[in-house]
Amino acid sequence: MAFAADVPQREVQGGHGIVLPPPPATEAKPVTDNVAGHTLTDSYRWLEDQNSPETRAWIDAQMGYTAQYLSQVKIRPEMVKRLTELHHVEVVGIPVERNDTYFYTKRLPDENQASIYIRKGLHGNDERLIDATKLSEDQNTSVHINDISKDASLLVYGVREGGADEETVHFLAVADRKDLADVLPKARYQGVSLSPDKQGLYYAKYQPEGTLVYYHHIGSAVDSDQLVFGKEYKGEQFGQMELISSHVTENGNYLLISVSHGVPAKRVDIYAKDLRQPESELREMIHGIDSRFTPVNYGDDLYVLTDYNAENYRVIKVSMADPTEAKWQIIVPESKDAISGITIAGGKLFVTGLHDVVTQTRIFDLNGKQVATISYPTLGSASEVRGRQDSNHSFYTFESFNIPPVVYHYDVASGKAEIFAKPNVPFKSDAYEVRQIFYNSKDGTRVPMFISSKKGLKRDGSTPTLMFAYGGFLIPMTAHWDPEFAWWMEQGGFYAQPNLRGGGEYGEAWHKAGMFEKKQNVFDDFFAAAEYLIQNKYTSQPRLAIRGRSNGGLLMGAALTQRPDLFGAVWVGYPLLDMIRFQKFLVGRWWTSEYGSADNPDQFPYLIKYSPYQNVKPGTKYPAIMLNTGDSDTRVAPLHARKMTAELQADDASNRPVLLHYETKAGHSAGVSIQQLVNDTADELAFLWNETSK
């Protein structure tokens, strides 16, 4: 393809003496649209076609240009070596107990993927069931546990290629270690559960017309699977905006189906089918209420986590025999701290939540009397407690920015916790500290932020600082371990993580404060965090590196377009950037319940005001920028990063690098090989560190 020479022919200056030629020129082919009564011109619409020869040639040119930069970063080989040491350790997932047999994932230090193992008895020997390292030559195929029969004789597992959301579903007879002939084809599945008699499988499958729930009889053809739910229920139509999941309850008595309207859901409906009576129909348990409901079945009751009349969430009990609202019982009332999850193990109700973004877990009896709490080692985050309802063996993980994830076994009867699996990571946790501060945002809102570093690190404004944030979809950003952050701190840098509005740190009110027309609050919270770090001498503008991915990639796009003066380098991962067209691609329509849609004349004005792609201004001096995406991202369309790269390279008036890091075998979800993860992380760190360190 012939590229038009419309990019200023200037030499690009990177950090530490890196010199690059001008970026590859991108031909502008303006397309004009009328959106909500407004005329908009898109110069790089042609880059939306991912598979056209022109786009592939453009990607190749951009990858070559980025490689020119990375080849000049002298510290990168050291990064690869150290990241390899931090990643290549034994990692064990939380076990699932069935019939005194424990199923879990484990990756050995020299392996690129985690395999599925079993252990007979809590302290038995490990036996590998599924060897993920042998599933693909490039080691980019991962496995995970979907379900296990109650007697531990049948395993259902998923196989995912690269970082795609789609998977294939397989069945393994555990005793003879042989796969059954049945395979569910590659698709986006939600809720895969064996029937109590092990003769079949219930699963929810996303399709372009909407999510459908099927029953697959083992041994029969997939195309003959029975439709159980979807399309409509008693005249109510379900389409693309309804995400449906299903699961068989632990006692095997019920099939529960949840219908989530939007992502995140603004309304969740719960249906149940009594599997003890094959001819019984699905019944409404909770329906038609504009709130979220997450059910856990116990006996013939549902324990439900909900924000209905409780923005910080509460737990109610619903009788499945008579689920009318008037009969609901409050088990755990709402409090000032948000509840994030509930589980039942060993006959006890475990309620996990956050107090100023730090995990707290309370334990109740099933009538709502608090009987205990779980104490955690230090400032950090823990997973929900997972275990069987009829067993005292339960498990959880704990981690922090300076503590790799440890799996604990928790005895429900005695209340004692012991380490089940601890990775031997070559990192001196005691040499680092994690602190939490609070700062005021633009409108005076008090916002928390974690800051981690070597103990006693001086603040003189010259320290490279890496800041990561998200701010959306009710997702809290807790203290978690990441070798990338560990490497940064080892070099003598600060790592900062502010907890922006839009997340779930303080319940639904905190979330709503960063949605729709209030999305600017998220960006303002982020800018205020950066200003705090600079004003308090943690760092300075040239030394401040920022990163975010997905919705956090949108945050990065807003940061570089609204405050290009505030940051030294920006990494924009798997981003949403064209907020006028995002809903037209892949599963983007789901997120209109968070952002709104430019197709709505009432929502267009605030979207166009912050949409990063439409707010790149010619002649602006932008910081150093690396955009990151991959062909296998089947969630956020890679076209966002492609178009934004072209726009920035054409309009940037600084001589800083604007790079596209594009992987042909990488996507939104986890699952790539450890070696590729190391290489990709080294590329990101090479860019951020090189552009912000002296």
| Angle at which helices 551-562 and 639-651 cross, to 10° | 10
Q: What phi, psi does 397 have (nearest 5°)? A: -115, 155
Helices (H) and strands (E) in the chain, counts: 10, 43
264 preceded by a cis bond (ω within 30 of 0):
yes
Confidence at residue 632, expressed as pLDDT on a 0 to 100 scale:
78
Please name each of the domains of the chain with its CATH number. Answer: 12-84+460-692 (3.40.50.1820)
Confidence at residue 161, expressed as pLDDT on a 0 to 100 scale:
87
Quickly tell me which residue has 């296998």 as its tokens: 632
Catalytic positions are 550, 668
Whether the CB-CB separation of 401 and 422 falls below 8 Å is answered with no
Quickly tell me which residue has 């080849």 as its tokens: 71
608: nearest Cα among 600, 616, 594, 598: 598
Going across the sheet that includes 141-148, the strands are 141-148, 154-161, 167-173, 178-194, 200-207, 210-217, 226-229
Please give the DSSP secondary-structure letter assigned to residue 541: G
Q: What is the mean pLDDT of each run of 10 residues along the chain (694 residues)?
A: 46 95 96 93 97 96 97 97 97 96 97 96 95 90 96 97 86 96 95 96 91 96 95 87 93 96 90 94 96 97 97 98 97 97 98 97 98 95 97 98 98 97 97 98 98 97 98 96 98 98 96 98 98 98 97 98 98 97 91 95 97 97 96 87 98 96 69 87 98 95
- CA 419 → CA 71, 102, 422, 582, 688, distances in Å? 43, 15, 7, 45, 36
Instruction: Return the exposure string of 223-249: e unless at least 16 CB atoms fall within 10 Å of the residue's CB, then b.
Output: eebeebbbeebeeeebeebbbbbbbbb
| CA dist., res. 321 & res. 284, Å (int) | 11
Cα-based angle 117, 121, 122 (whole degrees, multiple of 5): 85
When computed from its CA atoms, the radius of gyration of the chain, rounded to whole angstroms, is: 25
3-state SS class at 469: coil
Q: Which two tokens stand for residue 270?
A: 């719960």
| CA dist., res. 78 & res. 71, Å (int) | 13
- CA 448 → CA 295, 435, 440, 532, 630, distances in Å? 30, 10, 9, 11, 33
Q: What phi, psi does 177 have (nearest 5°)? A: 60, 40
Confidence at residue 6, expressed as pLDDT on a 0 to 100 scale:
47
